[in-house]
Structure 1
Amino acid sequence: MGMHPLHEAAMRLADIGLSRSRSKSKDLVGLLLCHGARALRSSQPRASLRIHTVTPVGYAAVKIRLK
């Protein structure tokens, strides 16, 4: 089971603060963009998808249901 997105972002920020690399600002911008995209996706309503295909004679060829 994954961590809560805000907790994960906080932990990554702490890791960035501990590292002394030159690309700190690049990592921080990437982290913030990733967190913003994740927050947007988690605020969207759930979607479901149901695909039901049949053969020419009417038998079920494939049934896929994603919730």
Structure 2
Amino acid sequence: MSKEANLDDEKLVARLRDPSTCREAFGELIKLYSEPLYRQIRRTVQSHEDTDDILQNTFLKAWQNIE
């Protein structure tokens, strides 16, 4: 991962922690990481439906533990 990507991630995390920008930032987080996370999960899970469930639960847990 490049230095620039790390800085972008740091900015995104800062926005996630700010109540005034957290919803918008979380949408960006989902857009950025849904596909790579899906591919990673799918490597170990047989079905598309199970993969989607795990991906959704992953983002839900992230949202619930944003602090």
Normalised TM-score (structure 2): 0.39
Higher strand content, 1 or 2: 1
Q: Which has the higher contact order (CA 8 A, sep 6+)?
A: 2
Higher helix content, 1 or 2: 2
- Structure whose alpha-carbon radius of gyration is higher: 1
